[in-house]
Amino acid sequence: MLTRPLETTGLAAAFTFEGHRLCYTEFGTGDRVVVLAHGLMFTRRMHAPLARELAAEGFRVVTLDLLGHGDSDRPRESWHYSIPAFGDQVLALLDHLDVDRAVVGGTSLGANVALEAAVKAPERLRGVVVEMPVLDNAIVAGLLAFTPLLFAARFVPFGVQAVAKVAGLVPQGSQWVDVVTDTLDQRPASMAALLHGVFFGRIAPPRSVRKRIEVPALVIGHQRDPVHPFGDADTLAADLPAAEFVQARSPVELRFDPQRLTAAILDFVRRCYAA
């Protein structure tokens, strides 16, 4: 049973992969499928507005809670977590849905997961939407940003539990308030395992591998964010043989002023299915 009704306009469901339950929500119907993956410690709810927009244009959009996030299982061992493993989960979702090929997109962690899926099974992807990738220039900033959270989860678990309890008291119903409370709803041991597994594993395909990704790509980057530096997105767009680059005005443009970037994503997805 799902722990909360995530979307009144989507169909929530789950499947089992390698012994763990992974939850997802579907918006729309049809053969033109788009899968969206969330950022680190976020949940599938963060992509609900974009999913609804794409579904309104005739696409079947699936938002997935990766292992350790949202309503999916949250094992306590770090070896369960890695970005390549998350890529496998996206491909397993396509198998579960009997979808041969799809456009896969994501933000931050989800962007890197989309790249991993493109490396593992390029024949399964029509295109990738990569927003705010975390590559070579972001490693130090990422460690500085998330190491305190790892420390807190390992050594001050009652603090993480207290924050989660307070977040659970906040009324549901507002998109971005719900996204924040979902993110704060952490379990210390699982959170520590997740962060350890991600940051001490392969963050992204190396540049030599990225240069061989021939799947069409839309790369979205922005400035003034050390965890998602503009240089990473710009370099990635140059590395990928079939990439287009769009510069966002801010890290939150797609969330709070989404019309321009949503239109760019919609145009790209349409062309992926027209090819």
DSSP 172-191: S--HHHHHHHHHH---HHHH
Task: Burial-class residue 265 by CB neighbours within 10 Å (0-12, 13-18, 19+).
Answer: buried
Query: Quick check: pTM over 0.85?
Result: yes
Is it the case that residue 69 has pLDDT exceeding 90?
A: yes
- What pLDDT was estimated at residue 9? 56
Express each pLDDT in 52-63 by its tens digit: 999 999 999 999
DSSP 218-260: EEEE-SS-TTS-HHHHHHHHHHSTTEEEEE-SSTTHHHHS-HH
Interval 40-69 mean pLDDT = 97
The DSSP element (H or E) to which 11 belongs, if any, is strand 11-17
Express each pLDDT in 137-146 by its tens digit: 887 788 788 8
- Token output for 71: 């309503």
Interval 30-54 mean pLDDT = 97
Question: What phi-psi label fits residue 132: left (phi over 0), alpha (psi between -120 and 50 degrees) or beta?
Answer: left
Express each pLDDT in 144-199 by its tens digit: 888 899 888 898 888 889 888 888 888 887 888 888 888 889 999 999 999 999 99
Which residues are CB-neighbours of 151 under 8 A, at least 6 positions away?
A: none
Express each pLDDT in 237-275 by its tens digit: 999 999 999 999 999 999 999 999 999 999 999 999 998
- The span from the CA of 113 to the CA of 25, in Å, is 18
Task: Burial-class residue 148 by CB neighbours within 10 Å (0-12, 13-18, 19+).
Answer: exposed
Express each pLDDT in 82-138 by its tens digit: 999 999 999 999 999 999 999 999 999 999 999 999 999 999 999 999 999 999 888
Bridge partners of 2, per DSSP, are none
